Chains A and B, each alone.
Chain A
Amino acid sequence: MSADTVGELEQELEALIQFVYMAPAGLVQARSDGEIVMINPVAAQLMMPLPHDGSLANLFTALEGIAPDLRSRLAAFAAPQGMVCDGMHLPAPGGAKGERRLFSLSLIKLDDSRIMAMLQDVTLQAQRERLLRQQVAWLNAILTGVADYALISLDARGCVTEWNESIGRVTGHGQDVVGNSLAVFYPDDAITPERLLDRLHEAGHSGWSQDDGWLLRADGSRFWGSAMITPQRALASDKPLAAALAADADAPETGYRLIVRDMSGQHDAADAARHAAVCDHLTGIGNRRAFFDAAETELRRWRRMPRPLSLLMIDVDHFKKVNDTHGHPVGDEVLRHIARLMGTTFRQIDVVARIGGEEFAVLLPSADVVIAQRAAERLRAAIDGQPAPTDAGPVHCTVSIGIATMDDATPGVDALLKRADEALYAAKHGGRNQVCGPAVVPSEPG
């Protein structure tokens, strides 16, 4: 090869290197087991601050702290090539100043031995998109067929003021529902007095408050539904309509409107996509995104009106040993088993999520340390007492649990997590298979 050709090749190589250096998105090419083959600077920029082993040698290890179900998503992807996840949103720790960030991850299976990942920081974009989504949800609720709805008038305290046919059709309630608080439409474990006041306040403040979840009919049966609350204000009747509407925003609430929509049997693609975005792929419970969204909301509510609020950090004891002894698939079954037990232990209003490889968090709104401790102990005993059914036979496992309760000295979600983490550490240090909390109250007998 002539010196000229070599020179040209060097120039071109250097130009290509700089091109990839300056690409504004993080790019990683790895083997199917996650071993990183090529990685560009933005990928390192975003991944270095994450908790990992400090080496960026394996993609799944490096992202385990923010995307613990990535390996299982790839394993479940049957096609020989294609998009395993497309723009998956991952809450990530922020800088030293603590502000949270949001990453977007796309994972592509190139072939049976290679994968490619693209990682971007979309914190700002996400804020804009959130506003847009809320508006879309609002419009969707209004425009989709009236037959589905119950329109319910509430007074300033959130109690039903009058009956109409739509209430009977959707909820099965008769005239005797008048005077009841809107909590009557919710299962017991899906609502608290504080949450009711939060919803009314949020409706008054932003003009609407919508929640999807399990609702209750008069006969005790549950249905998946959407409940939207909007404020009703006294329009100044002596003004022209335009002026009266403009003044509406400042007028005090005279009551609220509750719109209940029965969504059972509706499985749109949008719902499925949303499910995939907020659920942990392996266990089906909430993922980090669901957890941090819910935690930020609860803390906002707490700051406006303090009330009991507790957090549990749960870590599976000796999990690495389970994986080493029985293999990762059995380890996965153990995690699924624990997630199932969590589902039966906690209330609907509690936020149960998988936030790490073998780490779970549970947010307990309106629960003080006594309630949190009881629930934690119930879970600990259930896991200790019921080995996980796996392909390798029953596998006994235990968890350590740390409790933290919200107070004035805790500035935010990360600080609350840190306190729960410290209690978890104490539980581990104290011998594992136990619950540790701030001021742990001795259990009452029975």
Chain B
Amino acid sequence: MNTRPALEFSQPEVLARLLALDATELDTLEFGVIGIGPDTVVCDYNAFESKMAGLSKDRVIGHPLFTVVAPCMNNFMVAQRFEDAAAEGQALDLTLDYVLTLRMRPVKVQLRLLAGRGADRRFVLINRKP
């Protein structure tokens, strides 16, 4: 049986792999995945993240990420980085420590911010810290 090895949060070249996965495959991953379009509207929201945040997909998909879905990321540490990368036509692959307010509790996580040069579809990956 030819099973594709599961994607790891911190593996290199993860962006290309993510772009190739459909919603069902994103749901099998063991870390949170939020995909946004060039207008920051959420187009991907996997099951892992939905469960962690306590938000169902239909409340999230189609809404702007930084103002509606994850306002905690709307600062220069996260949102601004996507803007800057897009403005400069640069790729983005940055992992940083962060605190999310999932279900209103402070939760330490690692975020990985991903964008290709074209900045069409960008991703925020969320990994719980041990």
Question: Chain A residues with Cβ under 8 A from B28's Cβ?
Answer: none
Q: Could you tell me which A residues sit within 8 Å of B by CB distance?
A: 13-14, 17-18, 20-22, 36-46, 48-49, 54-57, 94-97
Query: Chain A contacts of B90 at CB under 8 A?
Result: none
**What is the distance, in angstroms, from A122's C-beta to the closest C-beta of chain B?**
16
Known: A18-B55, A48-B77, A54-B97. A42 touches B71 (CB 8 A): yes
Of B56, B71, B84, which is within 8 A of A41 by CB? B71
Question: How many Å lie between the Cα of A22 and that of B98 in the bound state?
Answer: 19
Q: Is the CB of B101 within 8 A of A39?
A: yes
Known: A14-B55, A44-B100, A45-B74. 15 other contacts (CB 8 A): A14-B54, A14-B56, A14-B59, A17-B54, A22-B71, A38-B105, A40-B101, A40-B104, A41-B72, A41-B101, A42-B72, A44-B101, A46-B75, A56-B99, A95-B76
Whether A48 contacts B56 by the Cβ 8 Å rule is no
Those 5 A-B pairs whose CB atoms lie nearest each other, nearest first: A95-B76, A41-B72, A44-B72, A41-B71, A56-B106
On whether A45 and B103 interact (CB within 8 A), knowing A14-B55, A14-B59, the answer reads no
B70 in the interface (beta carbon within 8 A) = yes
Chain A residues with CB under 8 Å of B54's CB are 13-14, 17
B15 at interface, CB cutoff 8 A? no
Q: How far is the CA of A13 from the CA of B104 in the complex (A)?
A: 12
When the two chains form their complex, are residues A39 and B98 in contact, meaning their CB atoms are under 8 A apart?
A: no
Q: Which of B55, B80, B98, B103 touches A48 (beta carbons < 8 Å)?
A: B98
CB proximity of A116 to chain B, nearest CB, Å: 13
A54 to B55, CA, bound (A): 25
Residue in chain A with minimal CB distance to B73: A45
Q: Is the Cβ of B99 less than 8 Å from the Cβ of A54?
A: yes
Q: Within B89-122, which residues are at the interface with A (CB < 8 Å)?
A: 97-101, 103-106, 108
The smallest beta-carbon distance between A143 and chain B, in angstroms, is 44
Query: How many Å lie between the Cα of A18 and that of B100 in the bound state?
Result: 14
Within B65-86, the residues touching A (CB, 8 Å) are 68-77, 80, 84
Q: Which of B68, B106, B108: most chain A CB closer than 10 A?
A: B106
How many B residues touch A, CB cutoff 8 Å?
A: 26
The 0/1 profile, CB within 8 Å of A marked 1, for residues 50-62 of chain B is 0000111001000
| B84 CB contacts on chain A under 8 angstroms | 96
Q: Report if A45-B75 is in contact (Cβ < 8 Å); known contacts: A13-B54, A22-B68, A36-B106.
A: yes
The reply to whether A43 and B101 form a contact with Cβ atoms under 8 Å apart is yes
Knowing A45-B73, A49-B77, the reply to whether A39 touches B55 (Cβ < 8 A) is no
How far, in angstroms, from A191 to B2 measured CA to CA in the complex? 82
Most buried by A among B72, B75, B97: B72
Distance in angstroms from B57 CB to nearest chain A CB is 12
Pair B80/A96 contact, Cβ less than 8 Å = yes
Residue from B59, B69, B72, B106 in contact with A45 in the complex, judged by beta carbons closer than 8 Å:
B72
Query: How far, in Å, is A434 (CB) from chain B's closest CB?
Result: 34
Residue on B nearest A18 in the bound complex, by CB: B59
B77 to nearest A CB, angstroms? 6
From the candidates B56, B71, B76, B105, name the one contacting A21 in the complex (CB within 8 A). B71
Query: What residues on A are CB-neighbors of B71 within 8 Å?
Result: 21-22, 41-42, 45
The answer on a CB contact under 8 Å between B76 and A55 is no
In the docked arrangement, what's the CA distance between A56 and B71, Å?
16
- Residues of chain A within 8 A (CB-CB) of B106 are 36, 39, 44, 55-57
A residues less than 8 Å from B70 (CB atoms): 41
Closest to A27 in B: B104
A22 CB contacts on chain B under 8 angstroms: 68, 71
Q: How far is the CB of B73 from chain A (nearest CB, A)?
A: 7
Residues of chain A lying within 8 A (CB to CB) of residue B105: 37-39
Give A55 to B106 CA distance when docked, in angstroms.
8
Residues of chain B contacted by A37 (CB below 8 angstroms)? 105
Q: Which of B80, B84, B100, B104 has the most CB of A within 10 A?
A: B104
C-alpha gap A95/B75 in the complex (Å): 8
B80 CB to closest chain A CB (Å) equals 6
Residue among B69, B73, B101 with the most chain A CB within 10 A? B101
Query: How many whole Å from A54's CB to the nearest CB in chain B?
Result: 6
CA–CA, A43 and B75, complex, Å:
11
For A36, A46, A56, the residue with the greatest tally of chain B CB atoms inside 10 Å of its CB is: A56
With a CB–CB cut-off of 8 A, which chain B residues contact A56? 99, 106
Q: Which of chain A's residues have a CB closer than 8 A to the CB of B104? A: 17, 20, 38-40
Complex: A49 Cα to B80 Cα, angstroms: 12
| 17 contacts across the A-B interface (CB closer than 8 A) | A17-B55, A38-B105, A39-B105, A41-B71, A41-B73, A41-B100, A42-B71, A42-B72, A44-B99, A44-B106, A45-B75, A46-B75, A48-B99, A49-B77, A55-B99, A55-B106, A95-B76
